[in-house]
Structure 1
Amino acid sequence: MPRLWKSASLLAFLTAAVQGLLVRHDDSFQPDYILRVSAENYTEACMDRYSVLVNGSLPGPEIRLREGETSWIRVYNDMSDANTTIHWHGLTAFTAPFSDGAPAASQWPIPPGHFFDYEVRPEAGTAGTYFYHSHVGFQAITAKGPLIVESCDPPLYEYDDERTILISDYFSKTDAEIEAGLTSSNFTWSGETDAVLVNGHSRPATNATGSCELAAIDIEPGKTYRLRFIGGTALSFVSLAIDSHEVSVIEVDGHDTKPLKTDFLQIASGQRYSVLLKAKSEAELAETKIRQFYIQITILVRPEVLTNFAVLNYISDTKPDLTTVPSPPPLPVAETVQGWLDYELEPAVPANDFPTLNEVTRRIVIDVHQNVSDHTIWLQNGYDWVQSFPKSPYLVDIYTHKLNVDETYHRALTRGNGFDNITRTFPAKIGEVLEIVWQNRGTVSNGGLDAHPFHAHGRHYYDIGGGDGLYNATANEERLKGTCPIQRDTSVLYRYRKETEVLAPSGWRAWRIRVENAGVWMYHCHVLQHMVMGMQTVFTFGDREDVIEQSGPVAEGYLVYGGEAYGNGERDPVVQHFKD
């Protein structure tokens, strides 16, 4: 057992102990997982790149947690010149208040040469597919790995085995080069994706040399597999299909769904899908004399079509061919299906708390568009948000009385759109039922449009669909009749055309959420380039009293950059155990 922090005063200790133990994590403390974030040269897709990695690889190690159980994950920042954090993407964040991993929003980042112990406890009923990634700058392009939450109960659907498939992008430019170009007054685009990686592997079709190989997903004939697809891309919105195979979707963003057959998937950055695949029998394989099938991945809604591959390999004595890139592709080149599976996916167990339109207390419409002034930025209701905007994290400011959420709420209601332009936050009260509408509008310069996968930290929302033009609540309520909306944490605001009139409405995505978990939660586009360019928002749920009631008082070490909650080579961290 870790020993209690003996140097704290009895009064301070008893105050903190109301909600959690204050513990010095010395050598007697053993975390469940250790992640080390470093920056080094790394070979991807037959090319070398200076990248931020977790435990020296892409992807980082797979983490498996159990719902309802607390795990401690220690994250070391081994870089000498950059901050980092780890965000547990998709977890509903009913963990310690500083464990969401959103710098400038809910925690101070981990300084160079320091480490932070994250207390992570998935809620009961949230078994499914997730991933973790850095939330600083452009680091998440490579600093990430799969995270699986296991159920305490037997799986809802039977399968023999499972495979995890994490999809990511490769850019030849470094993180620093990309960020500098995107934020400069002399705007320089990152360039388009050079390759799509599957579990860190890719082989460009134009690359005739090099030792890199396509990823192999090994399976055995006749078995049923759960394939967990993770959209870990920076930019790419992909269509994915497996030659000569059909699958059934059974889980979306950590929620079981009724099986829905499909011959392809559309996966945006941040999204996850589990599917069941019934492997071919030995007799079927013998008849065709084919034991490997290509997984074809095509990038959607970008100026150039890029198609990369992985291999679904039926295990045999013959080593699979992982260096041949098929030309032409075995499957037709995919096109975007607008609103793919909207209004079709249903929860496996119907929810009893879906908010009806009559329960909605407030509708918040967030207009998103690109603007060009002294530099190119993405705006929400006329404002951008970047990690350098707040002088200290909002959650820290709530604890230290620097941010008065009641005042921000009053200003937001006075402005009429739910947005406080002073703090650039969307405040909400506990007990409200929000309908949040992301409204796509044409770029100021030329009416251009893009697709955006919007991700919510904190509790998942009910996705109530999307469509072209301007959001119409009455029309959408009619369309929802007879459907059962699913809960998600990432869904796509589609681009229905390449361009329109300047600021003209052209596409929407709508959510409903009950405001229950007090805290500070990022809501943002998950395209890393768009985030760096300002396409992020912050929602504050509840007032200071709600936050304190949920977490209790917190130690001073969380409230300052590099405080005692962050360990280093010279000191052990002093950590609050909120769930003990």
Structure 2
Amino acid sequence: MPRHLSQLLLVVMVNCVLLQALSVHAITRHYKFNVVMRKMSRLCSTKTILTVNGKFPGPTLYAREGDNVLVKVVNHVPHNVTIHWHGVRQIRTGWYDGPAYITQCPIQPGSSFLYNFTITGQRGTLLWHAHINWLRATVHGAIVILPKLGVPYPFPAPHKEAVVVLGEWWKADIETIINRAMQLGVGPNISDSHTINGHPGPMSDCASSQDGFKLNVESGKTYMLRIINAALNDDLFFKIAGHKLTVVEVDAVYTKPYKTDILLITPGQTTNVLLAADQSAGRYLLSISPFMDAPVQVDNTTGTAILHYTNTVSAAARLTLFKPPPQNATLIASKFADSLRSLNSKEYPANVPRTVDHSLFFTIGVGVNPCPNCINGTRVVGTINNLTFVMPSTPILQAYYYNIPGVFTEDFPATPPHKFNYTGSGPKNLRTMNGTRVYRLPYNASVQVILQDTGIISTESHPIHLHGFNFFVVGRGIGNYSPKTSPSTFNLIDPIERNTIGVPTGGWTAIRFRADNPGVWFMHCHFEVHTSWGLKMVFVVENGKRPSETLIPPPKDLLQC
């Protein structure tokens, strides 16, 4: 079943002003994001897209661990806009998290909003993106969080660093595509190309793409690549011909060094790798290609770029090529996921909850609901525990803080209301419940969530993202999770710590986190099509007893819907 339909592009430009230090250790970094429309050519097509500060991808935001970050977003386009700081924990500052109608009202055309948050206990690579409709197709960029001054990386310092943003491109207007698909009750059109730093690359059929991204390296030097999957709907393999890559960080968390020749990065994930320029002078192909091991249609184009040794005599020197992994390369994907481990050092421990206060079991997948106005009389919907989430018109955080009745209920099911063979053919009744339900957690509770893929219509991988928290991926398997036998396989010593995790096709993933951040926190599939269909839910985390454990009051310029 196709999962996509059309595109609109938003570009963000950044004017960075470094303000006076607030203390010995922390400074305030001030950015301005002007959301504007710009004509841009990609894949032999020219169209007007949404951008930030006129750039696609948008500008990179730089900060250090401990910095306060102020970003003023000014909306100059005829669309509502919000910006989400994906992976930034937003300790007690959920007002600035960004998902529309979850934590804030949108920034309406002609209006602005000042995001104000502090980078606490994080360093590495994250991303920012629009969090309303499908605008993040082009409204996205990198967040680079450097260690505190004087604190080295826990690995040899690279000669240089480079940000590499992976994405998708549609020739048509993206908002038109998804809106029409939602009206018809079917999957939207897939994208027309994958991009690397905004370009499909020199292997594209489009002649104008010959000036794609080029990574210049010097022989004998080591480089750190900060790789971000900003694509809407595709897991992506990443590979450089003739070179090994050493993974040292994912989702702004240091890892045990892991050497591989292929990366797998799901939408919303980031991966930092060390690249040793240890091959003979020449040019080497860098590529991204989709991973999908289920009968689901995805964009099967390969985005490319060039790794170029600067001592190569000519830009026309021989190009070393390779064959990308097959689209359904499950073994490659599983090996990569299973090989990642948290660094778990004295300086950067893995504080895995050893006991569980709230044990949740979430089935994730799709359903089919009646739709009298749709072409088949039905609509495909996303579901967690047979519940299709309905977005409210009043942000849940505001309703929670001000005790506004009628916006949500606190009866999100902790377990599936219907038991069935989850990875089998599925139940006969494909209909789901609709509602705006949340699950309430006491402050500092330890939480375990089993994310179980289902075979309703088809099994499929799902990149699940949790706002406001990192979590530990303590277990993973194929088939149905067994509460009797599966926990014996859990890693409670050095499991990888992330904010987004790919649940395997026809399988399950177990995550654990501590609810030590009061507020309202979104959890959803980062395939944008599944989020549009309702594969999402919300955690409400109560205040603790101390002032430092309490949600800060809303900003004075709190937006109204």
- Please state which band the TM-score falls in when normalised by the shorter chain: 0.7 to 0.9
> SS of 2:537's equivalent?
strand
Give the Å deviation of 1:404.
Answer: 9.4
Amino acid in the other structure paired with 1:68 = G
**Residue among 420, 427, 438 paired with 1:425:** 438
Give the Å deviation of 1:538.
Answer: 1.3
Q: In 1, distance between residues paired with 2:414 and 2:531?
A: 26
- Verify: 1:140 aligned to 2:131, yes or no: no
* Contact 1:412–1:427 (CA under 8 A) maintained in structure 2: no
> SS of 2:34's equivalent?
strand
**Residue among 295, 308, 324 paired with 2:303:** 308
> SS of 1:178's equivalent?
helix
Give the Å deviation of 1:325.
Answer: 9.6
Give the Å deviation of 1:480.
Answer: 2.5
Q: In 1, distance between residues paired with 2:216 and 2:286?
A: 12
Q: In 2, distance between residues paired with 1:452 and 1:415?
A: 18
Match of 2:380 in 1: 376
Give the Å deviation of 1:89.
Answer: 0.7
Q: In 2, distance between residues paired with 1:454 and 1:410?
A: 21
* Contact 1:36–1:78 (CA under 8 A) maintained in structure 2: yes
Match of 1:15 in 2: none
Give the Å deviation of 1:513.
Answer: 1.0
Amino acid in the other structure paired with 1:537 = M
Amino acid in the other structure paired with 1:170 = W
Q: In 1, distance between residues paired with 2:380 and 2:415?
A: 29
Match of 1:72 in 2: 70
Q: Aligned pair in 2 of structure 1 residues 172, 559: CA closer, same or farther (>3 Å)?
A: closer
Q: Aligned pair in 2 of structure 1 residues 415, 198: CA closer, same or farther (>3 Å)?
A: closer
Q: Aligned pair in 2 of structure 1 residues 556, 546: CA closer, same or farther (>3 Å)?
A: farther
Q: Aligned pair in 2 of structure 1 residues 45, 205: CA closer, same or farther (>3 Å)?
A: same
The TM-score normalised by the length of structure 2 is 0.82
More displaced stretch, 420-429 vs 457-466: 420-429
> SS of 1:341's equivalent?
helix
Match of 2:541 in 1: 541
Q: Aligned pair in 2 of structure 1 residues 319, 422: CA closer, same or farther (>3 Å)?
A: same
Q: In 2, distance between residues paired with 1:543 and 1:512?
A: 20
Q: In 2, distance between residues paired with 1:253 and 1:520?
A: 21
Q: Aligned pair in 2 of structure 1 residues 206, 253: CA closer, same or farther (>3 Å)?
A: closer
Amino acid in the other structure paired with 2:353 = P
Match of 1:129 in 2: 125
Give the Å deviation of 1:410.
Answer: 6.8
Give the Å deviation of 1:136.
Answer: 0.8
Q: In 1, distance between residues paired with 2:555 and 2:120?
A: 24
Q: Aligned pair in 2 of structure 1 residues 527, 49: CA closer, same or farther (>3 Å)?
A: farther
Q: Aligned pair in 2 of structure 1 residues 50, 377: CA closer, same or farther (>3 Å)?
A: farther
Q: In 1, distance between residues paired with 2:204 and 2:412?
A: 55
Q: Where do 5+ consecutive residues of structure 1 fail to align?
A: 1-29, 496-505, 562-580
Match of 2:509 in 1: 509
**Residue among 37, 40, 61 paired with 2:38:** 40
Give the Å deviation of 1:183.
Answer: 1.2
**Residue among 396, 399, 402 paired with 1:397:** 399
**Residue among 83, 97, 116 paired with 1:86:** 83
Q: In 2, distance between residues paired with 1:275 and 1:544?
A: 38
> SS of 2:399's equivalent?
helix
> SS of 2:163's equivalent?
strand
* Contact 1:396–1:559 (CA under 8 A) maintained in structure 2: no
Match of 1:23 in 2: none
The TM-score normalised by the length of structure 1 is 0.80
- Could you list the per-position Cα deviations for residues 211-236 of structure 1 after superposition, in whole angstroms to 9, with x for gaps in the alignment? 55321111111101111110111111
Give the Å deviation of 1:484.
Answer: 1.4
Give the Å deviation of 1:331.
Answer: 5.0
* Contact 1:178–1:190 (CA under 8 A) maintained in structure 2: yes
Match of 1:295 in 2: 286
Q: In 2, distance between residues paired with 1:307 and 1:252?
A: 23
Q: In 2, distance between residues paired with 1:205 and 1:169?
A: 16
Give the Å deviation of 1:543.
Answer: 5.5
Match of 2:363 in 1: 367
- Could you list the per-position Cα deviations for residues 507-551 of structure 1 after superposition, in whole angstroms to 9, with x for gaps in the alignment? 112211111111111111111111112122111111698899623
Give the Å deviation of 1:340.
Answer: 3.7
Q: In 2, distance between residues paired with 1:240 and 1:414?
A: 36
> SS of 1:98's equivalent?
helix
Q: In 2, distance between residues paired with 1:353 and 1:62?
A: 30
Amino acid in the other structure paired with 2:365 = H
Q: CA RMSD in A?
A: 3.0
Amino acid in the other structure paired with 2:471 = Y
**Residue among 94, 98, 105 paired with 1:97:** 94
More displaced stretch, 194-203 vs 143-152: 194-203
Match of 2:182 in 1: 183
Identity %: 26
Give the Å deviation of 1:368.
Answer: 1.7
Q: In 1, distance between residues paired with 2:202 and 2:434?
A: 45
Amino acid in the other structure paired with 1:320 = A
- Verify: 1:245 aligned to 2:239, yes or no: no
- Could you list the per-position Cα deviations for residues 95-125 of structure 1 after superposition, in whole angstroms to 9, with x for gaps in the alignment? 633111111111111111111111121113x
> SS of 1:354's equivalent?
coil
Match of 1:434 in 2: 447
Match of 2:480 in 1: 470
- Verify: 1:518 aligned to 2:531, yes or no: no
> SS of 2:352's equivalent?
coil
- Verify: 1:200 aligned to 2:202, yes or no: no
> SS of 1:339's equivalent?
helix
> SS of 2:73's equivalent?
strand
* Contact 1:456–1:489 (CA under 8 A) maintained in structure 2: yes
> SS of 1:558's equivalent?
coil
Q: Where do 5+ consecutive residues of structure 2 fail to align?
A: 1-27, 372-378, 419-432
Q: In 1, distance between residues paired with 2:392 and 2:254?
A: 37
* Contact 1:182–1:529 (CA under 8 A) maintained in structure 2: no
- Could you list the per-position Cα deviations for residues 268-323 of structure 1 after superposition, in whole angstroms to 9, with x for gaps in the alignment? 1011111111112xxx52xxxx511001222111536332211111124756359x
Q: In 2, distance between residues paired with 1:183 and 1:544?
A: 41
* Contact 2:385–2:413 (CA under 8 A) maintained in structure 1: no
Give the Å deviation of 1:77.
Answer: 0.8
> How many residues get paired?
501
Highest CA radius of gyration, 1 or 2? Answer: 1
Amino acid in the other structure paired with 1:166 = V
Give the Å deviation of 1:475.
Answer: 2.7
> SS of 1:360's equivalent?
coil
> SS of 1:551's equivalent?
coil
More displaced stretch, 136-145 vs 51-60: 51-60
* Contact 1:456–1:521 (CA under 8 A) maintained in structure 2: yes
- Could you list the per-position Cα deviations for residues 378-434 of structure 1 after superposition, in whole angstroms to 9, with x for gaps in the alignment? 111222225xx21200111122111599x95577579989xx975321221113211
Q: Aligned pair in 2 of structure 1 residues 102, 481: CA closer, same or farther (>3 Å)?
A: closer
Q: Aligned pair in 2 of structure 1 residues 35, 508: CA closer, same or farther (>3 Å)?
A: same
Q: In 1, distance between residues paired with 2:475 and 2:120?
A: 25
* Contact 2:518–2:551 (CA under 8 A) maintained in structure 1: no
Alignment of 1:248-267 (within 5 A): 248-267=246-265
Q: In 1, distance between residues paired with 2:547 and 2:291?
A: 41
| Higher relative contact order (CA closer than 8 Å, sequence separation 6+) | 1
Amino acid in the other structure paired with 1:380 = I
